[in-house]
Amino acid sequence: MLFSRISRIRSTGSNGCRWFLSHKPHLQFLNPPAYSYSSTHKVLGCRENFSWGLPALHGFRHNIHHQSSSLVEEQNDPFSLVADELSMVANRLRLMVVTEVPKLASAAEYFFKMGVEGKRFRPTVLLLMATAMNISILEPSLRGPGDALTKELRARQQRIAEITEMIHVASLLHDDVLDDADTRRGIGSLNFVMGNKLAVLAGDFLLSRACVALASLKNTEVVSLLAKVVEHLVTGETMQMTTTCEQRCSMEYYMQKTYYKTASLISNSCKAIALLGGQTAEVAMLAYED
Ligand code: FPP
Ligand code: MG
């Protein structure tokens, strides 16, 4: 999914997202003429390598003479490509929200418990992005799933997946209070089960733990990106809450609000994955955009 989209980066056709993103002032240099052949080639190079890179990363014994349909299906299923890592991320999230105050502990872990983790769309996309971003940066002689540099880089990128998920869940806890929701992910929403006050505090707590994890990466550019995302979430939610009749008819307003409320988190997290991977600003912007 992600990889076939990367191959379309230079396509001239526009989709809704690209149309919208072209309205962002800091993205002006993404207009097609600004792409250099070499950087595009580098990104496409990631994709070319992908078919052999991923099986290596995940320990598949890939035999081109023996492709059963189930193997092909497994390789094409983005969730199964990162299934093991998704479990690791889920386990770490449970550990990251441990705290000594019992009520806060049960509120904070509420949506990280097994079975209510949601679709895990964000961590899946981010881990796949990490795979795409990491293939080209290390010298072939140093590269491989088992070497220390690769492992360390991957661990740092997994931290981004965890931080992103924490910010996302924090925003949902607050959103459910604002919307007076009574269900979320098929169970009672936290505000419904434990009350508004604890739900707000649990959201604040998740944000604070996300900040601690973010600081531990010691990368100020990545910290700034994700701090901006939190601002965007609040801005988007406020825009939605205060929409005037006129704004309700404006596609531009709708797209701006939706970028802040939804797209900014995944886009900037993808960019953070690329930056941690040592990619150039140009490639990081492609990760953000696509
Ligand atoms: C779901 O919207 C809500 C969001 C995607 C973001 C909400 C953001 C905030 C409440 C700002 C506070 C942010 C943080 C990080 C604490 P929805 O109501 O349209 O969708 P739903 O059906 O899933 O509730
Ligand atoms: Mg809601």
Q: Which tens digit of pLDDT belongs to each residue from 49-86?
A: 333 233 333 433 344 444 556 666 666 788 889 999 99
Residue nearest (by alpha carbon) to ligand 1 atom 17: 175
Looking at the CA of 111, name the nearest ligand.
1
The two tokens of residue 31 are: 């207009």
Strands (E) in the chain, as ranges, are 183-184, 187-188
pLDDT of residue 149: 86
Residue nearest (by alpha carbon) to ligand 1 atom 11: 234
- Report the chain's C-alpha Rg in angstroms: 20
The predicted model scores a pTM of 0.77
CA-240 nearest atom, ligand 1: 19
Residue 144 per-residue DSSP state: S
Domain at 79-289: CATH architecture: Orthogonal Bundle (1.10)
CA-177 nearest atom, ligand 1: 10
CA of 22 to the centre of ligand 1 (A): 24
Provide the 3-class DSSP secondary structure of residue 183: strand
Delimit the CATH 1.10.600.10 region(s) of the chain: 79-289
CA distance 260 to 161: 19
Q: Is pLDDT of 140 > 70? A: no
Residue nearest (by alpha carbon) to ligand 1 atom 23: 172
Question: What separation in angstroms does the CA of 115 have from each of 8, 11, 106, 110, 185?
Answer: 35, 39, 15, 11, 9
Handedness of CA 89, 54, 46, 154 (dihedral sign): positive
CA distance 267 to 252: 19
For the chain, give the mean pLDDT.
80
CA of 237 to the centre of ligand 2 (A): 10
CB 172 within 8 A of CB 111: yes
pLDDT of residue 70: 64
The lowest-confidence range among 7-16, 173-182, 213-222, 271-280 is 7-16
Q: Which residue has the higher pLDDT, 69 or 120?
A: 120
What's the mean pLDDT in 235-239?
98
**Ligand 1 lining (C-beta closer than 6 Å):** 167, 170-171, 174-175, 178-179, 203, 207, 230, 233-234, 237, 261-262
**Of all residues in the chain, what percent carry a pLDDT higher than 70?**
70
Q: Which of 122, 179, 233 to mutate to test the pocket of ligand 1 (most atoms within 8 A of CB)?
A: 233
CA of 2 to the centre of ligand 1 (A): 25
What's the mean pLDDT in 12-20?
32
What's the mean pLDDT in 211-215?
98
Query: Residue-wise over 59-88: b if at least 16 C-beta within 10 A, else e?
Result: eeeeeeeeeeeeeeeebeebeebbeebbeb
Query: Residue-wise over 154-177: b if at least 16 C-beta within 10 A, else e?
Result: bebbbbbbbbbbbbbbbbbbbbbb
Q: Is pLDDT of 143 > 90? A: no
CA of 165 to the centre of ligand 2 (A): 17
CA-178 nearest atom, ligand 1: 10
CA-238 nearest atom, ligand 1: 11
Looking at the CA of 238, name the nearest ligand.
1
Provide the 3-class DSSP secondary structure of residue 187: strand
CB 160 within 8 A of CB 126: yes
